[in-house]
């Protein structure tokens, strides 16, 4: 069941600036947040081309993998997940859920995952029996879907729009859909991600469209967290009833709060933060760590 996303004000962040959160996380309990938008046109394209199997890549706590498994099942398609872990490692609850939705899991290991992924993506161009989607839904079709995050909402009046950045697909999509006068800001969650600018630029309709990446909030790297961040997540839940994850949205919202404290934004800016959904990463934490 889909629920229309809504915009929630975050008064604890600022009393002088309007800070709103687009709650994409409420959209669906499984295909949460931006996963729905990034996958929607890939699935439609596979069906239109008569391809009955879709496949993609991800880690043992991948929101994308679970979302694809469920979406494929609902569309009557088979699914394959190429996983960045080893078969002899304990199965995570995330992968067990994807398997329960009918996904075939293929373990590529950790050491040569990227090279194996590249080989599989290259070979997919030689046949049309399986529809390959890059990790995280990266690609022009994924960005086209992500653009509908803005086109389906009333966001034209915001001065700044800010979101977390993994593959850069969502940021590229919303840049493509935004008004040219809106300030577009991304908070990368990976450390030392030297190619992210090129990956985003590759998906932009207007290659000259300005945007800003702020790299100081990754907290040590992908899926890395610490007690300070966990305290922040619990504090945010207590104050605003906003659930966040350790991979993306906690770093995003922590970053936004810090930027406001540092007077990064203009005094009268209205700010829209995009909650991209997906709490699978929290399953790696000991039970009871988070209050939600």
In the chain, where the domains are located: 6-31+140-284, 34-137
35 exposed, middle or buried (CB, 10 Å; 0-12, 13-18, 19+)?
Answer: buried
Token code pair at residue 232: 């922040």
Q: What is the mean pLDDT of the chain?
A: 95
Q: What is the CATH number of domain 6-31+140-284?
A: 3.40.50.1100
- Provide the pLDDT confidence category of residue 21 given band limits of 50, 70 and 90: very high
pLDDT digits (tens, 9 = 90+) for 132-147: 999 999 999 999 999 9
Calculate what percentage of the chain has a pLDDT beyond 90. 91
* Per-residue confidence (pLDDT) for residue 122, from 0 to 100: 86
Token code pair at residue 8: 């929630």
Q: Rounded to 5 degrees, what are φ and ψ at 161?
A: -125, 130
- State yes or no: pLDDT of 22 exceeds 70: yes
pLDDT digits (tens, 9 = 90+) for 79-127: 999 999 999 999 999 999 999 999 999 999 999 999 999 999 888 665 6
Q: Are strands 18-23 and 6-9 parallel, antiparallel or unpaired?
A: antiparallel
Averaged pLDDT for residues 191-213: 95
Averaged pLDDT for residues 46-54: 96
| Common-topology check for domains 6-31+140-284 and 34-137 | yes
* Per-residue confidence (pLDDT) for residue 275, from 0 to 100: 98
DSSP character string of the chain: -----EEEE-TTT-SSSEEEEEEGGGS-SSS-THHHHHHHHHHHHHHHTT--EEEEEE-TT-HHHHHHHHHHHHHT-EEEEEESS-TTSPPPHHHHHHHHTTPEEEE--STTHHHHHHHHHHHHTT-SSSEE--GGG-SHHHHHHHHHHHHTS--TT-SEEEEEESSSHHHHHHHHHS-TTSEEEEEE-STT-TTHHHHHHTT-SSTT---EE--TTSTTSTT---HHHHHHHHHHHHHH-----TTTHHHHHHHHHHHHHTT-S-TT-EEEEEE----GGGGGSPTTSS--
- State yes or no: pLDDT of 210 exceeds 80: yes
The domain 34-137 having CATH identifier 3.40.50.300: the answer here is: no
Q: Nearest 5°: CA angle at 127, between 124 and 129?
A: 95
Token code pair at residue 180: 């040219």
The residue written with tokens 């669906």 in the block is: 28
* Per-residue confidence (pLDDT) for residue 1, from 0 to 100: 59
Averaged pLDDT for residues 203-215: 97
Averaged pLDDT for residues 14-22: 90
Averaged pLDDT for residues 260-277: 95
- State yes or no: pLDDT of 195 exceeds 90: yes
The HSE-up count of residue 248 (CA atoms within 13 Å, CB side) is: 28
pTM of the model as a whole: 0.95
* Per-residue confidence (pLDDT) for residue 194, from 0 to 100: 84
Averaged pLDDT for residues 168-182: 98
Is the CB of residue 236 less than 8 Å from the CB of residue 228?
no
* Per-residue confidence (pLDDT) for residue 125, from 0 to 100: 60
């Amino acid at each position: 069941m889909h629920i229309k996303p809504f915009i929630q004000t975050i008064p604890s962040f600022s009393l002088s600036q309007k800070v709103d959160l687009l709650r994409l996380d409420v959209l669906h309990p499984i295909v949460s947040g931006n996963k729905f938008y990034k996958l929607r046109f890939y699935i439609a394209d596979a069906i239109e081309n008569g391809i009955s199997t879709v496949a993609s890549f991800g880690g043992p706590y991948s929101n994308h993998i679970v979302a694809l498994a469920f979406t494929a099942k609902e569309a009557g398609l088979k699914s394959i997940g190429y996983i960045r872990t080893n078969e002899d490692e304990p199965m995570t609850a995330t992968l067990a859920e994807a398997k329960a939705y009918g996904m075939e899991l293929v373990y590529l290991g950790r050491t040569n995952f990227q090279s194996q992924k590249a080989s599989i993506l290259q070979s997919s161009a030689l046949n049309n029996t399986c529809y390959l989607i890059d990790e995280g839904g990266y690609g022009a079709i994924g960005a086209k879907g992500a653009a509908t995050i803005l086109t389906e909402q009333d966001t034209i009046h915001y001065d700044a729009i800010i979101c977390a950045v993994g593959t850069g697909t969502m940021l590229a999509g919303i840049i493509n859909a935004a008004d040219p006068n809106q300030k577009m800001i991304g908070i990368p969650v990976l450390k030392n991600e030297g190619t992210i600018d090129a990956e985003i630029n590759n998906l932009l309709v207007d290659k000259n469209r300005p945007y800003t990446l702020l790299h100081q909030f990754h907290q040590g790297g992908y899926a890395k967290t610490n007690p300070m961040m966990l305290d922040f997540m619990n504090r945010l839940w207590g104050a605003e009833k906003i659930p966040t994850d350790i991979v993306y949205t906690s770093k995003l919202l922590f970053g936004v709060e810090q930027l406001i404290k540092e007077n990064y934004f203009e005094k009268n800016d209205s700010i829209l933060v995009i909650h991209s959904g997906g709490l699978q990463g929290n399953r790696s934490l000991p039970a009871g760590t988070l209050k939600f």
